[in-house]
Structure 1
Amino acid sequence: MGKNYPDIIGSLTKPMRDLHQGMPKVMKGFGALADNAKASGVLDAKTKELIAMGISIALRCDGCIGFHTRGAIRHGASREEFMEMIGVAIMMGGGPSTVYGAYALEAFDQLTATAG
């Protein structure tokens, strides 16, 4: 499909750092929110990353797809689990989610290859 998710993640490093430097209180607050929301509780961290992925697909956010795919892989999500999540995202997001679901699968395959 032509998107390179390792590059997408990498290209966000400087702009995200700029956000942290330009509005440290906001970004520190967002970071704390994200850390607490993704921490294992009744739902484990892998499940939470898969939920975030479904939302990323439905909202069509390439950066989010990259970051949450990487998180799901780090927490042990299998390709089969990822495919099921994509199915739910398509149900919720309709036709555009079929396109971004394909991008998400591409991200999973790319980031799994680079993690190994």
Structure 2
Amino acid sequence: MSFLNDILPDTAEAFGKMRDSIFEGGTLDRKSKELIAVASSVLMRCQFCVDVHSQRAIAYGASKKEIAEAVAVAMFIAAGSQIGWTNIYGKNVYDSIFEEKEPEKPGETKGCCCGE
């Protein structure tokens, strides 16, 4: 985060304080927090974060199997979210896709769902 340190030092300092307040102390032990960070990093698709938090988890006693299980939990949440996110309109979008309706003719709609 050197660019933030140079350009926005107050922001960089605040980020560091947030990290310290989350990872130091509290009810969860550091290994558990790092395993949560590994799973979260997978979901955020941050390879750097996965590497850093995996190494920290190992330093705090996590095994390779525990890291693999954290990644598996993230995979499960990612897969399940692809079904659950579709309920935004009061009914499941998949039900809408498969309900009986007149097929659209090519060229009747433009672009994506916004009709542009």
Query: Normalising by structure 1, what TM-score?
Result: 0.63
- Which structure 1 residue ranges, 5 or more long, are not aligned? 1-15, 96-116
1:84 matched to which residue of 2?
69
* Structure 1 position 41, deviation (Å): 1.9
1:63 has 2:44 as partner: no
* Structure 1 position 73, deviation (Å): 1.5
Q: Deviations over 1:24-76 (max 9, x none)?
A: 10010000001111113210011001001101001111121122112111211
For these two proteins, the number of residue pairs brought into alignment is: 80
2:4 matched to which residue of 1?
19
- Please say which structure displays the higher CA radius of gyration: 2
2:35 matched to which residue of 1?
50
Identity, in percent, stands at 38
1:75 has 2:72 as partner: no
The one-letter amino acid of 2:34's match is E
Q: How far apart are the structure 2 equivalents of 1:84 and 1:40?
A: 24
Kindly report structure 1 stretches of 4+ aligned residues shifted beyond 3 Å.
none
Which gives a bigger RCO, structure 1 or 2 (Cα 8 Å, sep 6+)? 1
1:33 matched to which residue of 2?
18
Bigger fraction of residues in helix: 1
Superposed CA RMSD? 1.5
- Which structure 2 residue ranges, 5 or more long, are not aligned? 81-116
Q: Deviations over 1:76-102 (max 9, x none)?
A: 11111112111111111129xxxxxxx
The one-letter amino acid of 1:87's match is A
